[in-house]
A = this chain, B = another copy of it.
């Protein structure tokens, strides 16, 4: 494909504008199209209003190669997409008997009878193809006209997603609108702010021509997507080679290619070394454990942990010596390390990871204000602590603390692997990584 195909997405439905539902369709379609060399140029979310739908549809149809609409195909009077868009294109609606048969079978299976309003769902614009809906009543519609493609998808996510994957993606590839190869390389980084990463990569990319870069920051990490610029002849293989160079260039800040999470990387690393992990959480309150157990198959590495939300719990169940808490406070480097060691011993785990801090809104001291979190790590070759200062509300502090603590463990594992090769043993405590 010589040029990027322009796709416009129109989401029709009041519930998105009233904040009753997330517009997950945009995210899903954006990612899937980008993966296959398409790009959403513009997204418009509209009310169920005939004049507005017609106007915005024609605007997009004029300017795009592919227009995808979602929603408005249901059986109720609010559902206008089918009629309005057919009219806008000057096309009649045709009755498709196979749709009626499918609807009747579906209703029979559910023990319901087909209503007159459902018969509206059997009409499609003349010349259009029906996309079968296995998970709901509204069939999708695909129309190729004047070198352009119109796609109308049903609103519910559970209907849209399989219809896209099983029927629409192959059809768009057939029509030459999407590539059958993946079109970008994703490289994950952690711990470098987006603006700093951009500056660093600008230097790196000076040696390469025709590479397009997109950034996405989320929760302390930044994903970088490399693809070929429109005018460039770079193949995906050449892009991959540049990615490998970039990995070297970024050192420890590089997490992985693809979409694995930091926790998946850490668990895979520990699994490969037959090591186990347990966690002791104070301010993160279970979120750290929950993040590890989000990963299917975590249980062969992750033993579990203790949520020590009350100070007493730290002393009783993690065997943090009372004198450490008295001398240094419950939120301190010393307590964090004692918690990590305590949980590792208690759960007979090789690694213990701990968090203690002030998530807010209350708490904090002059030296350690709200947003201060200490991590502790107990490992077979030593124990460390790490202090971070996170700005944001309670949930931001907690989520960020979990992400940073896992990435800190990842960095230690990478470093440890290198150092193990030199048979050195390190014991340090301090703020450095």
Q: Hey, which bits of chain A sit against chain B, CB under 8 A? A: 14-24, 26-34, 39-47, 52, 56, 74-76, 115, 117, 135, 158, 162, 195, 198, 214-216, 218, 223, 225, 279, 281, 284-294, 296-299, 302-310, 313, 317, 346-347, 360-362, 391-396, 398
Contact = CB atoms under 8 A, between A and B. Distances in A.
A270 to B, nearest CB: 14
How would you classify the secondary structure of chain A's contact residues: helix, strand, loop or mixed?
mixed
Contacts of A16: 26-27, 30, 43
B42 A43 contact: no
B76 A362 contact: no
A39 B19 contact: no
Contact of A285 (B15, B294, B361): B294
11 contacts: A19-B33, A20-B223, A76-B195, A279-B307, A285-B294, A285-B298, A285-B302, A289-B309, A290-B398, A303-B309, A306-B306
Contacts of A317: 304, 306, 346-347
Contact of A298 (B41, B44, B215, B309): B309
Contacts of A223: 20
A307 B309 contact: no
Nearest to A292: B285
Q: Most chain-B CB neighbours within 10 Å: which of A32, A317, A360, A395?
A: A317
B296 A285 contact: no
A284 B290 contact: yes
A22 B38 CA distance: 18
A347 B215 CA distance: 46
Nearest to A33: B19
A59 to B, nearest CB: 9
Given A14-B214, A284-B293, A289-B307, 6 more contacts: A17-B41, A18-B40, A19-B28, A42-B45, A285-B289, A304-B308
A392 B46 CA distance: 27
B20 A22 contact: no
Q: Most chain-B CB neighbours within 10 Å: which of A76, A279, A303, A304?
A: A304
Contacts of A162: 393
Nearest to A360: B296
B306 A293 contact: no
A302 B293 contact: no
B198 A76 contact: yes
A30 B23 CA distance: 11
A19 B23 contact: no
Contacts of A309: 289, 293, 298-299, 302-304
Contacts of A303: 309-310, 313
A15 B133 CA distance: 30
A21 B216 contact: yes
Contacts of A115: 195
Given A18-B34, A23-B27, A52 B42 contact: yes
